[in-house]
Chains A and B, each alone.
Chain A
Amino acid sequence: MADEIQELSASAAAAAIADGGLARAELFEHYRARAAGDELNAFTWVAEQPPAPVEGPLSGVPVAVKDLFCTEGIPSQAGSKILAGYCPPYTATAVANLEAAGAPVLGKTNQDEFAMGSSNENSAFGPVLNPWDHSRVPGGSSGGSAAAVAAGLAPWALGTDTGGSIRQPAALCGIVGLKPTYGAVSRYGMIAFASSLDSAGPLTRDVADAALFYRHLVGRDSADATSVAFPEAIEIPTGERLDGITLAVPTGLVDGEGIEAGVRESFEASLETARSLGATIVGCEIPSARYALSAYYVIAPAEASSNLARFDGVRYGLRVEEGRLDEMYTETRHDGFGAEVKRRILIGTYALSSGYYDAYYGRAQRVRTVVARELGAIFESADFIVTPTSPTVAFGLGDRTADPLSMYLSDLFTIPMSLAGTPAISIPSGLSEGLPVGLQICGPAFSENRILGAAHALEQAIGFDGSPARGGAS
């Protein structure tokens, strides 16, 4: 029975519970036991008991929640020493929406500190291991969520994406990850990194699971003034063809340096698959793409330097006792934040400081306008932009920690969509050297239904087998 439960997708498990073939308690205990026995360091907290059942369309299928989300009475530490042991007095709207739809919280997942990183190595609670190869990173910053789903320690997971933090770990772990249109999911209770970019979304085994999860995640929230009502119901995709669909490939970007041959091969094979399903492939250019990365690494740290000012040892979290108030602030932040977080706070503070604001933050915001315009122009004649999600497969633990810039390059393909606020999904396109490669499909704002539809058709045709990461199909 355990193996049968393990092989069920989240949607299939929900259906099995709804029709009486599977007991809620049995499903919860199956995943609770697996999460508690986690050898990947994917979880930072696991429930000991299932919470009181809530009737709803998600039927008790448990969800792993990235530790960036506040969960009432449950540790919410954002991968940071400065929040070690912190149990918030309220729950984030995204989590509350899933709970209200019937999905209990299974556990909290490890992440790069305050979602700053692309390898999950910037966590105060230690790195997460990639289930496909334990000597490699799972990607980040939602690395714990991605590894937990890929390894079958959770049926699905909630993550966040500011510059690629859902899509890139989904790609490196061989699962599906959806970054929504900016504002479609409430940010209330999601510990803020870069408020104009942060978005919450699903990490799942397949595209249908992503659609079901996302259906219950979206919605306007009076507690988040930037949230918007999704203009249509999220549908569960069933299509298997791409007739009449035009996919645009940003040629200059995809042919650039730094892209592994195996990734390129897998990407080209998926384009062939798309063609065989009826799609038309055209070339396009995003001339601002290389500037987008730089603009992002000004805008995100600038917003972070402001958001992270709240961690000062007064209201929650770590306090380092020193003589005067200002010394308490500065020493608490010195001891509580990790190296990458400090770097970004300093870069952001510098970029916003008198004399540099126009040269850095002002210019970066103008680059952002250019990026959004360029993507918009492509969508006038194409349905989707497609790229590899990450230029490389999962890299080795420690390979990029010495050079922050080499880590930043992981986000080359995911950042333009973050700056433009447009939705994008990563689905597995195959393996290179035995490790998963991700395909990114991006559409205009609020095109999630169409993205999920195209992703489903490609997923069915590609037929990726993620079971090796779960310890084999057994």
Chain B
Amino acid sequence: MIDRDELLHVARLARLALHEDELDATAAELSSILEHVAVIEELDLEGVEPTAHIGDVSDSLRADTARPSLPRDVALAPAPAVRDDGFLVPSPQGE
């Protein structure tokens, strides 16, 4: 059900690299899972509302008051690269 082009498209959306030697097996696995979950197409769901979430979470605002948050150095400590009090990432355009 999923071919290589479609798989590469989805992988791009997911920001997930797939290497050439992984494409065929991955496409086959995903197809077999999608085939299995397709049984939900059999059900008559006319008029049934979707459930995004169980329970009522409509009224859960807390008071809008300032309080301490993680210190900057603590929040930055686990980062792979840091410069000038911020997360350092490679250039979007390359070197």
A residues in contact (CB < 8 Å) with B: 86-90, 182-183, 196, 222, 225-226, 228, 288, 290-291, 294-295, 297-298, 305, 309, 312-319, 321-331, 333-334, 337, 342-343, 345-347, 349-350, 353, 359-360, 362-370, 372, 404-405, 408, 420-421, 445
Contact = CB atoms under 8 A, between A and B. Distances in A.
B70 A90 contact: yes
B14 A225 contact: no
A122 to B, nearest CB: 14
B74 interface: yes
B92 A196 contact: no
Contact of A297 (B7, B33, B43, B93): B33
Nearest to B49: A369
Given A334-B19, A370-B43, A325 B52 contact: no
Residue in B18, B53, B79 whose Cβ sees the most chain A Cβ within 10 Å? B53
13 contacts: A226-B53, A297-B37, A317-B80, A323-B94, A325-B90, A333-B16, A350-B30, A360-B40, A363-B41, A364-B40, A367-B43, A369-B50, A372-B51
A330 B70 CA distance: 29
Contacts of A319: 80-81
Contacts of A226: 53, 55, 57, 60
A330 B17 contact: yes
Nearest to A222: B62
Contacts of B91: 324-325
Contacts of B74: 89
Contacts of A342: 16, 26
A96 B2 CA distance: 45
Given A87-B78, A323-B94, A294 B40 contact: yes
Contacts of A294: 36-40
Nearest to A83: B78
Contacts of A368: 50-51
Contact of B94 (A298, A312, A315, A324): A324
Q: Is the interface of B mostly helix, strand, loop or mixed?
A: loop
B40 A367 contact: yes
Interface string B1-31: 0100001001101111111000000100110
Given A182-B55, A291-B40, A337 B16 contact: yes
Given A291-B43, A297-B33, A297-B36, A314 B62 contact: no
A370 B16 contact: no
Contact of B48 (A312, A314, A370): A370
Closest 10 CB pairs of A and B: A421-B54, A365-B50, A319-B80, A334-B17, A330-B17, A316-B78, A294-B37, A225-B60, A349-B14, A366-B45
A89 B75 contact: yes
A346 B30 contact: yes
Given A89-B77, A370-B45, A312 B15 contact: yes
A322 B78 CA distance: 20
A333 B45 contact: no
B51 to A, nearest CB: 4
Given A343-B33, A369-B51, A363 B40 contact: yes
A322 B55 CA distance: 44
Nearest to A350: B10
A346 B51 contact: no
B40 A295 contact: yes
Contact of B39 (A225, A291, A365): A291
Nearest to A422: B54
Contacts of A345: 14, 16
Given A89-B70, A319-B80, A324 B93 contact: yes
**Among A228, A315, A321, A362, which residue has the most Cβ atoms of chain B within 10 A?**
A315
Contact of A323 (B13, B36, B87, B90): B90
Given A309-B15, A334-B17, A346 B79 contact: no
Contacts of A370: 43, 45, 48
A364 B48 CA distance: 11
Nearest to A288: B43
A222 B62 CA distance: 7
Contacts of A366: 43, 45, 48-51
Given A196-B54, A328-B90, A363 B45 contact: yes
B84 interface: no
Contacts of B40: 291, 294-295, 298, 360, 363-364, 367
A362 to B, nearest CB: 6
Contact of A328 (B43, B52, B89, B93): B89
A364 to B, nearest CB: 6
Contacts of B38: 294
B10 to A, nearest CB: 5
